Amino acid sequence: MESLISSVTILRDSLSGDYIGFLRYAAPVLAAILLLRCALPLLTFRREPEIWAWLNLTDGTQVPITHWENVIGRSKTCDVTIDFPTVSRNHAVLTRYDDGSWTISDVGSKTGTLVNGRAVQICALKDRDRISIGGVEMQLQPITARQEARQAELRTKAASGWDTLANLMMLTLLQCLMVLGFLLGSGEEDLPQIILGFGGIIATQWVLFLFYCVIRRKSFEVETIAFFLCTMGMAAIATVKPGETVKQLMAMVIGIVVFLIIGWSLRDLERAKVFRYFAVAAGVGFLVITLLFGTEYYGAKNWLIFNGLSLQPSELSKVCFVYAGASTMDRIMSKRNLILFIAYSIVICCLLALMNDFGTALIFFCAFLVIAYLRSGSVGTVALAITALIFAGVLVLKIAPHALQRFSTWRHIWEDPQDTGYQQAQALMCIASGGLFGLGSGQGYLKYVFAADSDIAFATVSEEWGLLIAVMMVLCIAIYGFFTIRTSRVARSSFYSIGACTAASILVIQTILNCLGTLDVLPFTGVTFPFLSNGGTSMIGAWGLLAFVKAGDTRQNASFAVRLSKKEAAKV
Amino acid sequence: MNRVTKRTWLMGLFLLVLLGGMAFFLVEYALFAETWVTTVGSPHVYNNANLGTGTVVDRSGQVLLDISEQRTYASDADTRKSTLHWLGDRKGYISASAVSNYAGKMVGFDLIDGVYQESGDGGEASLTLSAEVQNVALNAMAGRKGTIGVYNYKTGEILCALTTPTYDPDNVPDIASDTTGAYEGVYLNRFIQSTYIPGSIFKTVTTAAALECVPDILDKTFYCDGAYEYGTERVTCETAHGTRDLKGALASSCNCSFAQIAELVGKENMLKYVEQFQVTEPLSFDGITTAEGNYDISYTAPVSFAWSCIGQHTDQINPARFMTFMGAVAGGGEGAEPYLVSQVRCGEDVTYEAKTVKTGRIMPQETAETLQSYMRANVQNVYGDWNFPGLNVCAKSGTSQLGGDQTSNAMFAGFVADEEYPLAFIVVVENGGYGSSTCVPILSKVLAACKDVLDNQ
């Protein structure tokens, strides 16, 4: 009997060696194909200029209106340029709504905007209304319903359902192979947790896919990439803290709910504007609660211990900040709106300074920078922002000695690899030990190092699954960035493009700080890697940000954030 | 809208930082990954401060250290003691830099697969040392401090490199509370890390310099009445040697004659030849760099210069380096640089194989041959050829005075002028007294053991 047991054990041992030998090549190949299939449609869809209306001038010229929000003015950077001395640089904004109606709003012009001879601040346009901008007369002629339907038909379709299905099956295969790796290599007591963690992700992704089928949305690439990152994060947690897989899974499910809610709120701009007020309040609220009831760890007061759960509400504040910063074109032009936003940013900044969390403050600051630039682009604003960055930087370095110490270790980790440079030196040693294909699930040593599943999770994945997969994780985030740049050109409203661009910037910056910090290319700041790092609030925040990225997608049938066209809806 | 759209290039900036940073890292990875993996503390390769994988064997294949699981040393206490300084201890006080140097090769590291191994067999590093010779040397030292080095000046293999005091890593003595001084400098590998006042073995350097730059040196004779005066200062001998030529001066190690030879050579030439013979330069092999010697005669009075040519003054030599100099003399002006690790395997794959590196010509063949014949005469006439049966030993002894009332260090350096046994050696016994009387019996045993090893190959 004993010999039987021992031979079974030997069989398992020898099998596990062979299996890991197979898995270490299979996993990166599968992942590469999957990401390529997801990235290509996101990065190559056609972006035809769409015409939504014509502006007929009295001299007979017709100016095409190509966006839902259009600035009219003398400046060359306006969407509609009218080079006439009485026209202000930025004079008025012409806005289209979801139901096809149009409004015109004056944005503080010197000579005013007249509709049918009456000076207006904001005015809904009816057919044949005479608009006068600085004395220049014009009429708006929206496209007909037929033209609109034709335009919708021409728009690039999101991936077919079959492609999405194939991608999802490929991801599921990858996940199953990874679980099998853990089955052969891990201790028995951890197995239920590991199976539950991976199984939960598989179940969640399929449920979400079915939900998309029900609401007739076909594009799943953005989500598939996020699920891939979550899977790799789960692999790191399964190695480092197998007991926390279920917790992370729950966070992911909550994150997806948040993702859907924000997506729904963004679908209707009017609804989004209402939500924005909630978000603004919540953003401050999360930080205030942390300050009042938070616990200090490593010099930063950014943790909230609640019923044994440790939360980091500042992660959620990021999402709120994006909401607060996004704005429609007609509001961007108003000074009041800008001043309110700057005031809001200062409040947030002060709260962060009190919390003493360098990494988070830096991310907020970059987000502020992006929003400020997208909104104004004026040199003055950027200069102000940079001044503030220097201020904040000096302040933080003064009040946070641990941040200063991290700066002094930067590019010097090998001078003291056993002490101040320990985490990163170990990370680099383990990344190199893993090579391009990794050592196999559970075979790493980095798990014994502090924060192996969060701050240096990138290295943990690299050690066990190989540098190829680790680099692919970075490319995943980069894909979001490129995708956002592409979609912003066809975005319906600046609300979406600012939201998407800021959200994607936060994801990219977090990746920069986490990943390049781990690798000692940049100073180590202890920021989480989106979707990957162990941490519930970070996971929820990442999905929340993803909703903004997703909302920028205007491909036909792609995003839940864009209503189906009438014809499309009637057909189904 | 146009404006907002155009400004999204800002995102491109972030992407540039991200992708640029990653590209920078990948370049670093390609360049330094092996260094990272093999840095002390690397968890897949090291176990505390010393290498944590594979086995280390001596030239006959005897396992000196097995580090697959824990650090298991050789089964007999003598071998454990005599090889400790090349293997490292369990606590990391003694670092085995030669073996560590090949850590990456032992774990089979490469950029593609990292340290992943299909077979799971550990690596194996083969040393050129012979445990047998090490043990003979250890016993011959009989508890005295010092070092013994023997290497093949044709191939570069180090057969023997013993450093004492040492201890048994499986039976660690209470070193910290020892007051007898028996364990003074016990963590030091004297062969590579120490420098010593050379004493008269340095006269070989001066002799070679004289042969090189004094045209009629072979016709010259020198008179010794026991002291050679420089005003109030003097260079002295223990006895008056009378009239000597160069060969005779070296054989009787006559200080007064060498003071006169020093005058003929001159400071400038002496500096030139010390540099050319590389006597004080650090030696590098297998990732080890030896201590740097010293020959400094700036601002010296004539008497000090004379002493510097006799191997006193502020002269310092490193044993491994001086042994290499002896090898170059034996090889006719050009020898091999020593090495310790002959081969590294990872599983079945040979990942490293040592190659002989020549010292380059440091002196003309003629000079080397003359010096060889002088050193051969030393053994025949002074040290006693019967001590080394079957071996054509050429040597020079040294008794380096340490000042104060300390007993002198006994030094002995030379080589075997024999095609079959191309061995160069150095013996240092700290506070050992007279060079020849202390070192010759030790060397006699060690060379005999080396001869056996070469015979059995």
What pTM did the predictor assign? 0.79
d(CA A150, CA A143): 11
Task: Select the residue from B6, B9, B15 to test the A interface by mutation, using most A Cβ atoms within 10 A.
Answer: B15
In angstroms and rounded to an integer, the radius of gyration of the C-alpha atoms of chain B is 26
Nearest-Cα residue of chain B relative to residue A518: B25
Distance CA B285, CA B99 (A): 11
pLDDT recorded at residue A567: 47
**Coil, strand or helix at A70:** strand
Q: What is the pLDDT of residues B348-360, one digit of tens each?
A: 888 889 999 998 8
Sign of CA dihedral B129, B130, B133, B138: positive
AA letter at A384 = L
pLDDT score for B338 = 96
Q: Can you tell me the distance from the alpha carbon of B152 to that of B169, in angstroms, rounded to the nearest whole number?
A: 29
Strand, helix or coil for residue A417: coil
CA A84 to chain centre: 41
Q: Which helix (H) or strand (E) element contains residue A205?
A: helix A191-214
Report how far apart, in Å, the C-alpha atoms of A388 and of each of A342, A368, A384, A394, A537 are. 11, 10, 6, 10, 28
CA distance B11 to A301: 30
B44 contacts in chain A (CB < 8 Å): 429-430, 433, 439, 445
Torsion angle (degrees, nearest 10) of CA A391, A392, A394, A395: 110
Q: Hey, which bits of A415-493 come out as E strands?
A: none
Nearest chain A residue to B18 by CA: give it: A512
CB A275, CB A323: distance < 8 Å: yes
Q: Which has more pLDDT, B275 or A383?
A: B275
| Alpha-carbon distances, residue B222 vs A164, B256, B307, B416 (angstroms) | 100, 8, 16, 29
Report whether A137 contacts A130 (CB < 8 A). Answer: yes
A418 contacts in B (CB within 8 Å)?
41
Which of B1, B2, B9, B18 best tests the A interface by mutation, with the highest count of A CBs <10 A?
A: B1
Please name which of B377, B342, B338 lies closest in space to residue B246, comparing C-alpha atoms: B377
CB pairs under 8 A between A and B: 169
CA A526 – CA A455 distance, rounded (Å): 5
Is residue A136 a contact partner of residue A83, using CB atoms and an 8 Å limit? no
Question: Per the omega criterion (within 30 degrees of 0), is the bond before B319 cis?
Answer: no
pLDDT of residue B124: 87
To the nearest whole percent, how much of chain A has pLDDT over 70? 88
Residue of B nearest to A425 (CA): B36
Instruction: Find out whether B262 and B309 touch, Cβ atoms under 8 Å.
Output: yes
Shortest distance between the Cα of A487 and any Cα of chain B, in A, equals 9
B20 vs A: CB within 8 A: no
> Which of B8, B21, B22 has the CB atom closest to A485's CB atom?
B8
Residues of A in contact with B9 (CB under 8 A): 485
The rounded mean pLDDT for chain B is 89
Query: How much is the pLDDT for A572?
Result: 40
Give the pLDDT of residue A361.
81
- Which single residue is written with the structure tokens 């010697």? B293
How many whole angstroms separate alpha carbon B162 and alpha carbon B148? 5
Cα pseudo-dihedral B161, B166, B168, B169, rounded to 10: -90
Residue B95's Cα: distance from chain center in Å?
Answer: 16
Nearest to A540 by CA among A318, A336, A333, A342: A318
Cα–Cα distances in angstroms (integers) from residue A305 to residues A72, A258, A298, A351, B259, in the given order: 52, 21, 15, 19, 84
B34 in contact with chain A, both atoms CB, cutoff 8 A: yes
Q: What does the pLDDT look like over B177-220, one tens digit per residue?
A: 888 888 988 999 999 999 999 999 999 999 999 999 888 888 88
Write down the domain spans for chain B.
Answer: 192-339+356-456
Do B189 and B83 meet the contact criterion of CB atoms below 8 Å apart?
A: no
Contact B21 A522 (CB under 8 A): yes
User: B192-339+356-456, which class in CATH?
Assistant: alpha beta
* Per-residue pLDDT at A299: 65
Q: How many CB atoms lie within 10 A of CB A2?
A: 6
Distances (CA, A) of B250 to A29, B1, B207: 74, 96, 8
Cβ <8 Å between A433 and B14:
no
In angstroms, what separates the C-alpha of A77 from chain B's closest C-alpha? 6
B346 contacts chain A (CB < 8 A)? no
Q: Each residue of A59-117: pLDDT tens digit?
A: 888 988 988 888 899 888 888 888 889 998 888 999 888 788 899 998 878 888 999 98
- Set of chain A residues whose Cβ sits within 8 Å of the Cβ of B28: 519, 521
Residue A429 and residue B36: Cβ atoms within 8 Å? yes
Quickly state the pLDDT bin for A571 (edges 50, 70, 90): very low
The position carrying tokens 């000692």 is: A520
Q: Please check whether residue A130 is in contact with residue A123, taking contact to mean a CB–CB distance below 8 angstroms.
A: no
**Angle between helical axes of B435-455 and B131-141 (0-180°, round to 10):** 160
Give residues with Cβ within 8 angstroms of A130, minimum separation 6.
Answer: A114, A115, A116, A117, A137, A138, A139
Q: Does residue A561 register a pLDDT over 70?
A: no
List the one residue out of B190, B196, B84 whose CA is nearest residue B146. B190
Residue of B116, B118, B121 to mutate, testing the A interface (most A Cβ within 10 Å of its Cβ) = B116
Nearest to residue B207, comparing CAs of B179, B245, B242, B180?
Answer: B245
Average pLDDT rounded to a whole number, residues A206-217: 90
Taking only residues 72 to 111 of chain B, the set having a beta carbon closer than 8 angstroms to any beta carbon of chain A reads 109-111
Query: Higher pLDDT residue, A170 or A523?
Result: A170
10 Å Cβ neighbour count for A169? 12
Q: What is the pLDDT of residues A124-138, one digit of tens each?
A: 998 888 999 988 899
Secondary structure letter of residue A450 according to DSSP = T
Among A435, A477, A519, beta carbon nearest to B114: A435
Q: Which of B277, B278, B263 is nearest to B308 (CA)?
A: B263
> Which tens digit of pLDDT belongs to each residue from B19-32?
999 999 999 999 99
Predicted confidence band of residue A400 (pLDDT cuts 50, 70, 90): low
| Closest C-alpha to B192, from B150, B149, B153 | B149
| Closest residue in A to B23 (Cα–Cα) | A471
Asked whether the predicted pLDDT for residue B51 surpasses 80, the reply is no
pLDDT tens readout for residues A18-57: 888 888 899 999 999 999 999 998 888 777 677 889 999 8
User: From CA B13, how far away is CA B321, in angstroms rounded?
Assistant: 56
Number of Cβ within 10 Å of residue A214's Cβ equals 8
3-state secondary structure of A131: strand
Q: What is the mean pLDDT of residues B102-124?
A: 78
Would you say residue B291 has pLDDT above 90? yes
For A130, phi then psi, to 5°, come to -90, 125
Tell me what pLDDT residue A52 has.
87
Name the phi and psi angles at B310, rounded to 5.
-100, 0
- A78 contacts in B (CB within 8 Å)? 2-3
Write a three-state SS string for chain B: CHHHHHHCHHHHHHHHHHHHHHHHHHHHHHHHHHHHHHCCCCCCCEECCEECCCEEECCCCCEEEECCCCCEECCCHHHHHHHHHHHCCCCCCCCCHHHHCCHHHHCCCECCCECCCCCCCCEEEEECCCHHHHHHHHHHHCCCCEEEEEEECCCCEEEEEEEECCCCCCCCCCCCCCCCCCCCCCCCCHHHHCCECCHHHHHHHHHHHHHHHCCCHHHCCEEECCEEEECCEEEECCCCCEEECHHHHHHCCCHHHHHHHHHHHCHHHHHHHHHHCCCCCCCEECCEECCCCECCCCCCCHHHHHHHHCCCCCCEECHHHHHHHHHHHHCCCCCEECECEEEEEECCEEEEECCCEECCCCCCHHHHHHHHHHHHHHHHHHHCHHHCCCCCEEEEEEEECCCCCCCCEEEEEEEECCCCCCEEEEEEECCCCCHHHHHHHHHHHHHHHHHHHHHCC
Distance CA(A123)–CA(A142), nearest Å, equals 16
Q: What are the C-alpha distances in Å from A292 to residues A114, A395, A469, B56? A: 52, 21, 41, 60
* Contact (CB, 8 A) for A571 and A515: no
Across the strands, what pairs with B223? B243
CB contact (8 A) between residue A521 and residue B25: yes
Sole residue written with tokens 């690397």: B42
**Measured between CB atoms, which of B1, B32, B114 is closest to A439?**
B114
User: Which amino acid is it at A371?
Assistant: I
Percent of chain A with pLDDT over 90: 37
pLDDT in tens, A213-232: 888 888 889 999 999 999 99
Nearest CA distance, A344 vs chain B (angstrom): 21
B127-153 pLDDT, tens digit per residue, is 999 999 999 999 999 989 999 999 999
- Rg, Å, chain A Cα set: 26
Gap between the Cα atoms of B277 and B337, Å rounded: 13
Residue A245: per-residue pLDDT: 93
Give the closest residue to B319 by CA, choosing from B255, B417, B411: B411
How far is A261 from A344, CA to CA, in rounded Å? 24
The closest CB to that of B120, out of A17, A71, A428, belongs to A17
Q: Which residue has the higher pLDDT, A234 or A556?
A: A234
**Mutation to test the B interface, candidates A75, A374, A502, most B Cβ within 10 Å:** A374
Buried b (16+ CB within 10 A) or exposed e, B208-230: bbbbbbbeebeebebebeeebee
Give which of A400, A479, A467, A454 is closest to A428, Cα–Cα: A467
